[in-house]
Amino acid sequence: MSPAERAAELRRLIDRANIAYYVHDAPEIPDAEYDRLFRELREIEAAHPEIATPDSPTQRIGAEPATALRKHTHLRPMLSLANAFSDVELAAWEDRNARLNADVRHGGYTTEIKIDGAAVNLTYAGGRFVTGATRGNGTVGEEVTANLRTIPGLPLILQGQGHPGLMEIRGEVYFSRKAFERLNADREAAGDPPFANPRNAAAGSLRQLDARITRSRRLGLFAFHVEVVEGTLKAATQWEVLDQLEAWGLPVAPHRARHPDLAAVQQAVARYETMIRTLPFEADGVVVKIDTLPLHDDLGVVGGREPRWAVARKFAPEVAVTRLLEIRVNVGRTGALTPWAVLEPVELGGVTISSATLHNDEIIAQKDIRIGDWVEIVRAGEVIPQVMGPLRERRDGSEVEFAMPEECPVCGTPVDRPADEVVRYCPNVSCPGRILEGIVHFASREAMDIRGLGYERVRQLLDAKLIRDVADLYELDAERLIALERFAEQSAAQLVKSIADSKARPLSTLLFGLGIHHVGKTVAVLLARRFGTMAALRDASEEAINEVPGVGPVIAAAVHHFFRTARNRHLVERLERLGLGMTEPDATVTDGPFTGMTVVLTGTLPTLSRTEATALVERAGGHVSGSVSKKTSLVVAGSDAGSKLEKATALGVPVIDEAELLRRVAPRP
């Protein structure tokens, strides 16, 4: 292949990876591989300048923003960082800078953790947070102000003094490992695909169209940079910038350090590498910054993309090589077929890996993974190990290409492939594979919490034809169980009791256990609180479901569809006859702080949307009305409140602000 051909191929691969990553939040290749492709392309273009093209991915950052959110043009471009993968590369970085300005060797360095999240640009005018945006392509991002406002650490008004009149604060929005695991567990339980890593989860959460969803995700923020647009910043070093950010009330990542020279930086890097694994969030390196700010302007930016004054010292990802023995296909509760690799067990980052997900057949084909291949497995800060690709040079011809089965591996029904999806589904709702997964989910601890009912037992009950669906569980009796293998009198009685005990669970738990598509634990609680009873939810219109704060149109459609399906209605009726609880204890508020009150909302509230404020009032027992009259008990007024406020004052109706509303509806201790 000629260099020009290889460069063209690399550009195609990188563009594709960019779109998957930036637009779809669904990366197709691990970061380490992306970095490798990018570097190879840059090297070819450097060696053969005649083949560099203006539209090469080396000339721009990321891809175009998705269209659903409003675009935002950054006042100053959002830059990326060059990488250094070793001490030698770090020294080369300093040498290059020193050739431009010898002072760089004497001013010292600041090091910061490189948080692995989604970059954000926060515009502050007069000390107030006015606009927030994602990076997008570095010049134009997506406006996500409402979503960013939901992040508790983000100050809406800066504290302290010395804020430049207009500035952009740059930072990283991230997921803690814990919040990430919780989110993924919830998504998997709801039949939604899990996020591959906390970074993608953060990016996806930021780009939600409904800020309530963002809020429920518990994102964190760390700030690390200021671009002054108007006014001045009282800081002479990067270290002081971080101090200043902290003084203004912005969260700054822990473990920052200051070093007199590069040798000290290199020593610190070794310490960071072990420390970073213990952090409660993901970090993928250390950012080394020249401390002295005047040197930043002096050194400038490479290719409009990377500042010379900072570099990301990345740690080598943990890689292991092993044999891919077999590719099996799993059938999920929703019928989704997922191929996964059975690996010869191998040590990676302190754990033994014997399997890895392969996502779907397109990815398998794209990476050219074959059964019998030697493959590289990576865990680059990623929670789930990934198969990076095959070692083609180790093939002996015995490797076999994988084809996704045309029939469900469990029930043999021909599989479906929806036109706009890469995933294949078993369409058979009675597929034993799907039923098994569904019943195990129903009984799981997070759902109905039926002790002693895991995969083994459920499979045994299905095989013995004692159950076909979850309702059958409640008709089991101890005698029939004892007749089975591995059941004794006591264990049979225990299981029957555990099943009976689960009848008392609240509606929200039952809704979650039923495994309605997109209904995770959080959504189940929102629905149960709002509708109170199964019957009310069953009969609710799609619009009414859509209006529940935290529930979007996709969820509303799925829930509505669930109850329009005869099978599901029969199942729910049977469960009710069998004595399962169909109500939510916390739902009807008869003794809330606003019980019996009619409340009017007017003007723009500083942090709550109208829907959120309405939900708060209703959850506190109140009723929200659109117009002020003598019957109005209370008016909640924000800025630009017009005639309603005037009328309330004229009628002598009490008026409160958002802060007071929040105080009144706060749960009593």
Site residues, ligand IVH (CB under 6 A): 79-81, 112, 114-115, 119, 170, 172, 224-225, 287, 307, 310, 312
Query: Does residue 114 carry a catalytic annotation?
Result: yes
Spatial contact of 130 and 72, defined as CB atoms under 8 Å apart: no
What span, in angstroms and rounded, lies between the C-alpha atoms of 256 and 242?
Answer: 9
Q: Closest Cα to residue 316, out of 285, 346, 345? A: 285
Residues in contact with 125: Cβ distance below 8 Å, sequence separation at least 6, in sequence order: 165, 166
**Number of H helices and number of E strands within the chain?**
25, 25
Angle 589-593-595 (CA atoms, 0-180°, nearest 5)? 50
Q: Closest Cα to residue 41, out of 60, 19, 21, 14? A: 14
The sheet with strand 82-84 has its strands ordered as 82-84, 310-314, 283-290, 109-115, 257-259
Q: Which long-range contacts (CB under 8 A, 24 or more apart) does 239-246 make?
A: 239/110, 239/291, 241/293, 242/110, 242/112, 244/162, 245/169
List the beta bridge partners of residue 337.
331, 424
| Tokens standing for residue 181 | 């695991």
| Tokens standing for residue 77 | 């471009």
Q: Closest Cα to residue 42, out of 58, 62, 66, 64? A: 58
Spatial contact of 253 and 197, defined as CB atoms under 8 Å apart: no
What span, in angstroms and rounded, lies between the C-alpha atoms of 155 and 221?
Answer: 11
Report the residue count for the chain.
669
What span, in angstroms and rounded, lies between the C-alpha atoms of 654 and 409?
Answer: 66
What span, in angstroms and rounded, lies between the C-alpha atoms of 276 and 90?
Answer: 19
List the beta bridge partners of residue 599.
624, 634
* Shortest spacing between CB 505 and ligand IVH, in angstroms: 43
What span, in angstroms and rounded, lies between the C-alpha atoms of 666 and 654?
Answer: 19
* Shortest spacing between CB 112 and ligand IVH, in angstroms: 4
Rg, Å, the chain Cα set: 29
Token pair 């076909």 is found at 468
Token pair 């002096």 is found at 298
Q: Closest Cα to residue 93, out of 310, 316, 315? A: 310
Token pair 């020279």 is found at 261
List the beta bridge partners of residue 600.
625, 635
| Tokens standing for residue 158 | 């800066």
According to DSSP, residue 20 is labeled I
| Tokens standing for residue 624 | 């929200």
SS3 of 269, please? helix
List the beta bridge partners of residue 311.
82, 288
| Tokens standing for residue 200 | 């993608």
DSSP 135-200: -TTSSEEEB-HHHHHT-TTS-SB--SS---SEEEEEEEEE-BHHHHHHHHHHHHHTTPPPPSSHHH
Residues in contact with 348: Cβ distance below 8 Å, sequence separation at least 6, in sequence order: 318, 319, 320, 377, 379, 385
What span, in angstroms and rounded, lies between the C-alpha atoms of 14 and 34?
Answer: 7
What span, in angstroms and rounded, lies between the C-alpha atoms of 186 and 521?
Answer: 6
Which residues are catalytically annotated?
A: 114
